[in-house]
Amino acid sequence: MSDLPATMRKMTSEVKSNGTLEVRLSEVPMPKPGPGHVLVKVEAAPVNPSDLALLLSMADVSGAEVSGTDDLPVVTMPMPSFAMPMMKGRMDQAMPVGNEGAGTVVAAGDKDGEAMIGRRVAAAGGEMFSEYHVVPVALCMPLPDSASARDGASSFVNPMTSLAMTEVMKREKSKGLIHTAAASNLGQMLQRICAADGIPLVNIVRKPEQQAILKDLGATHTLNSQDDDFMQQLVAACVETDATIAFDAVGGGNLAGQIVTAMEMAQAGKMTEYSRYGSDTQKHVYVYGRLDLSPTVIPPGAGMAWGVGGFLLPHFLASAGAETRMRMAGRVLSELTTTFASHYSDEITLAEALKPDVMAQYNARRTGEKFLITMN
């Protein structure tokens, strides 16, 4: 620890009771790892939608005002008044940001961690938009020697979630999967997994160029939700794949309801006897993202054997058991630069991440525009 600087910079996000959101870089004392922990010098961390939910929440980035210094900027943005009652749990608390990243272990709290000093690791630490972060040894994933911090920065959130989707599919005995916002970074990983594992996958996107991305990855079913005959195409894809599980990142609007209805129509088509209640095959849409914040609409016509619920990776991992978690993590590591490769459109520094025009860009969450924060 002696040759480390006495302080480091760390990003926080705070909703203030005056109706603003303040994102700042602060200089704080260098943290010390305790027993069972190591200190990681963070080298790269991606800006994922899950980070934005905390970092920017629902703040109006177009109204951002910058103060502070070049090295320690402070950005203040107005929050919409309707959102403030939902912020009670985080009001007037400077919350650290950065769900995942990669870096090098530079200090350890005890003998267990000492063996890791000098190793490049990936970690899901919750404070990775910092120059250094203390992480439990058990939550550090040593990266292969050949892997750069850029290769390893996104090795947890999207890889483990896309793999978890196939685990849920098997657990619930669906023969295929449906996925929305499917040209996302995560969606491209899921397409590669399903192609390798022979899992029938129905990709739903909203633009022709997104269909092209997935077709280039070998997708057979890639539907555009904006097509006039989208619903007919969706039912046909459900008949062909027999999928009864969907993962929906959009969340709001009609899409989840259209998927439940299409799965029901495909299952009802196989019935040999009429039932006023529809098919008794269970169908489930897991809403795992909220790219559309409007209410989720489920129309009549979905039958009576369906469910729509939330899905969160940590909840899945807690229920999955150690053997499944280890198997998933092992696959991510061995296919880090192939199946689970992330592509970044922009590399920015911690301070650049607080420039309002840059914030507006990464907050748009557009296909192929993922930002990587690099600390050096």
**10 Å Cβ neighbour count for 357?**
9
- One-letter identity of residue 26: S
Number of residues engaging ligand NAP in binding (CB under 6 A): 26
Residues from 186 through 225 that contact ligand NAP (CB under 6 A)? 186, 206-207
In angstroms, give the least distance from the CB of 164 to ligand NAP. Answer: 8
C-alpha distances out from residue 21 to 58, 82, 184, 290, 304, Å: 9, 14, 27, 20, 43
CB 9 within 8 A of CB 131: yes
CB 72 within 8 A of CB 135: no
Radius of gyration over alpha carbons of the chain, in Å?
22
Q: Which of 37, 41, 42, 48 binds ligand NAP (CB under 6 A)?
A: 48
Tokens, residue 363: 């907050």
Give the side-chain half-sphere CA count within 13 A for 107.
17
Q: Which is nearer to ligand NAP, 178 or 305 (CB)?
A: 178
Q: Which of 24, 33, 49, 77 binds ligand NAP (CB under 6 A)?
A: 49
**Can residue 248 be called a binding residue for ligand NAP (CB under 6 A)?**
no
Q: Which of 4, 139, 291, 298 binds ligand NAP (CB under 6 A)?
A: 291
**Can residue 311 be called a binding residue for ligand NAP (CB under 6 A)?**
yes
Calculate the CA 17 to chain-centre distance.
28
Q: Which is nearer to ligand NAP, 50 or 220 (CB)?
A: 50
Q: Which is nearer to ligand NAP, 22 or 335 (CB)?
A: 335
Site string for ligand NAP, 68-107 (x = CB under 6 A): ----------------------------------------
Task: Say how far apart CA 252 and CA 290 lie, in whole Å.
Answer: 7
In angstroms, give the least distance from the CB of 330 to ligand NAP. Answer: 19
C-alpha distances out from residue 270 to 69, 173, 238, Å: 66, 17, 12
- 3 state SS of 241: helix
Calculate the CA 233 to chain-centre distance.
28
In angstroms, give the least distance from the CB of 210 to ligand NAP. Answer: 6
Q: Which residue is nearest to ligand NAP (CB)?
A: 289
Going by the DSSP 8-state scheme, the letter that residue 87 receives in this structure is G
Q: Which is nearer to ligand NAP, 124 or 199 (CB)?
A: 124
**Can residue 371 be called a binding residue for ligand NAP (CB under 6 A)?**
no
- One-letter identity of residue 3: D
**Can residue 50 be called a binding residue for ligand NAP (CB under 6 A)?**
yes
In angstroms, give the least distance from the CB of 2 to ligand NAP. Answer: 39
Task: Say how far apart CA 370 and CA 362 lie, in whole Å.
Answer: 7
In angstroms, give the least distance from the CB of 250 to ligand NAP. Answer: 4
Tokens, residue 324: 């499944």
Q: Which of 59, 135, 157, 243 binds ligand NAP (CB under 6 A)?
A: 157
Task: Say how far apart CA 88 and CA 85 lie, in whole Å.
Answer: 6
Binding site for ligand NAP (CB under 6 A): 48-50, 157-158, 161, 181, 183-186, 206-207, 249-250, 288-289, 291-292, 311-313, 365-367, 370
